[in-house]
């Protein structure tokens, strides 16, 4: 392979999401089948042996794009020169908890990792925060970015988008690939707003294909908002393979511009678009304008229902920001 290898860090490397994620990164699903990758597996010291076991299995897959691994608990070494950082390592919630209940324990991880990324990663590093509550953890990490670019710090709502696609396709008797332009607005939490008003199924507006408005406004939205809890209740553990798949989708779309429709959902540092306070990490519809370049889609007409829902999720994010104000670098 002629391309130089790209270094990809994954925290929480011994955890359940990582077990679904690392093999796909190594096999070329993240950055392309012609792009060699070096994996940086980061976890806490007691879990390094387990991470080394995962590396043994990756070697045993003989993927043509796999160019080696670093396994470490030291964030400076783990983020050294990395081009892409997937911040997965954090506590998951259990039954009966909300993701925001994790803020106190998980938030501090992102102070240390944000600092280590800013000091050690490639200056153009692209970051995806998966560990919950991912928007506000990303806000903490991005606030530490001085040498690196805070615009390159993003959080994951692609899983919510994919969930919305699945629900709409099921209801319409269509294939997931027929559903376009369903974007998640706001927080990865039960207040998120899947904006179906702009979405299409087979080229027709969702509202023309699914005429049961009560279902769209009611069960559809609440199913997407609470799908994480539904999976936890069924599995006893939070989603893992679908979360790993969404992380692959998020980075692959960002890196290549390949999105299902005109745009995709990414939680990014708000520039004030649509009146969302600047600096909040907020999920918007984003267009990928060139490899690794995104722009928030402008000019969407938001009706009263959408505006009210977006206010609720914005207020929740403001409350989370307030709860971690000591963790945010000035």
From the CB of 124, what's the least distance to ligand LMR, in Å? Answer: 28
| Partner whose footprint covers residue 156, from ligand NAD, ligand LMR, none (CB < 5 to 8 Å by kind) | ligand NAD
**List of residues 6+ apart from 324 with CB closer than 8 A:** 103, 107, 136, 139, 140
Region from 40-48, 60-68, 179-187, 292-300 binding ligand NAD, contact rule CB under 6 A: 40-48
| Partner whose footprint covers residue 231, from ligand LMR, ligand NAD, none (CB < 5 to 8 Å by kind) | ligand LMR
Contact present, 234 and 196 (Cβ < 8 Å):
no
Paired tokens of 218: 């009611």
Paired with 37 in beta bridges are 6, 66
Nearer to ligand NAD, 31 or 90 (CB): 90
Q: Does 92 bind ligand NAD (CB under 6 A)?
A: yes
Region from 60-68, 138-146, 201-209, 227-235 binding ligand LMR, contact rule CB under 6 A: 227-235
Cα–Cα distances in angstroms (integers) from residue 142 to residues 131, 137, 178, in the given order: 14, 9, 35
HEC string for the chain: CCCCCEEEEEECCCCHHHHHHHHHHHCCCCCCCCCCEEEEEECCHHHHHHHHHHHHHHHHHCCCCEEEEEEECCHHHHCCCCCEEEECCCCCCCCCCCHHHHHHHHHHHHHHHHHHHHHHCCCCCEEEECCCCHHHHHHHHHHCCCCCCHHHEEECCHHHHHHHHHHHHHHHCCCHHHEECCEEEECCCCCCEEEHHHCEECCEEHHHHCCCHHHHHHHHHHHHHCHHHHHHHHHCCCCCHHHHHHHHHHHHHHHHCCCCCCCEEEEEECCCHHHCCCCCEEEEEEEEEECCEEEECCCCCCCHHHHHHHHHHHHHHHHHHHHCHHHCCC
Q: Does 17 bind ligand NAD (CB under 6 A)?
A: yes
Q: What x-and-dash track marks residues 122-141 binding ligand LMR by CB under 6 A?
A: ----------x---------
User: How many amino acids of this chain bind ligand LMR (CB under 6 A)?
Assistant: 11
40 is catalytic: no
Nearer to ligand NAD, 15 or 28 (CB): 15
Q: Does 99 bind ligand LMR (CB under 6 A)?
A: yes
Residues 69-98 that bind ligand LMR (CB under 6 A): 92-93
Q: Does 228 bind ligand LMR (CB under 6 A)?
A: yes
Region from 162-170, 172-180, 209-217, 234-242 binding ligand NAD, contact rule CB under 6 A: 234-242
Q: Does 111 bind ligand NAD (CB under 6 A)?
A: no
User: How many amino acids of this chain bind ligand NAD (CB under 6 A)?
Assistant: 28
| Partner whose footprint covers residue 197, from ligand LMR, ligand NAD, none (CB < 5 to 8 Å by kind) | none
Q: What x-and-dash track marks residues 140-159 binding ligand LMR by CB under 6 A?
A: -------------------x
Q: Does 182 bind ligand NAD (CB under 6 A)?
A: no
Region from 141-149, 198-206, 225-233, 289-297 binding ligand LMR, contact rule CB under 6 A: 225-233
Residues recognised as catalytic: 188
Per CB under 6 A, residues contacting ligand NAD are 11-12, 14-17, 42-44, 47, 88-93, 109, 130-132, 134, 156, 159, 188, 238-240, 243
Per CB under 6 A, residues contacting ligand LMR are 92-93, 99, 132, 159, 228-229, 231, 238-239, 243
């Amino acid at each position: 392979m002629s391309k130089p290898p790209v270094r990809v860090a994954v925290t929480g490397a011994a955890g359940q999401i990582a077990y679904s994620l690392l093999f796909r990164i190594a096999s070329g699903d993240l950055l392309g089948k012609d792009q060699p990758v070096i994996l940086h597996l980061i976890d806490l010291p007691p879990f390094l042996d387990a991470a080394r076991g995962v590396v043994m299995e990756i070697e045993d897959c003989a993927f043509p794009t796999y160019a080696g691994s670093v396994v470490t608990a030291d964030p400076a070494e783990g983020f050294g020169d990395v081009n892409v950082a997937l911040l997965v390592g954090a506590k998951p919630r259990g039954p009966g908890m909300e993701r925001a209940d994790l803020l106190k324990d998980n938030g501090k991880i992102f102070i240390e990792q944000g600092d280590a990324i800013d000091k050690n990663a490639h200056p153009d590093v692209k970051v995806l925060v998966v560990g919950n509550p991912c928007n506000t953890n990303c806000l903490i990490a991005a606030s530490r970015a001085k040498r690196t670019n805070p615009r390159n710090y993003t959080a994951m709502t692609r899983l919510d988008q994919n969930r919305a696609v699945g629900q709409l396709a099921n209801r319409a008797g269509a294939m997931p690939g027929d559903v376009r332009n369903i974007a998640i607005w706001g927080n990865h939490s039960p207040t998120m707003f899947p904006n179906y008003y702009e979405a299409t199924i087979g080229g027709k507006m969702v509202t023309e294909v699914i005429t049961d408005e009560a279902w769209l406004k009611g069960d559809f939205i609440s199913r997407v908002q609470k799908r994480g809890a539904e999976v936890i209740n069924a599995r006893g553990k939070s989603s893992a393979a679908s979360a790993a798949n969404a992380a692959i989708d998020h980075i692959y779309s960002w890196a290549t511009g390949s999105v299902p429709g005109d745009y995709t959902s990414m939680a990014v540092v708000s520039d004030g678009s649509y009146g969302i306070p600047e600096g909040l990490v907020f999920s918007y519809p984003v267009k990928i304008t060139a490899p690794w370049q995104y722009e928030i889609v402008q000019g969407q007409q938001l009706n009263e229902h959408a505006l009210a829902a977006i206010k609720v999720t914005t207020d929740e994010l403001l409350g989370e920001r307030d709860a971690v104000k000591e963790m945010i670098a000035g």
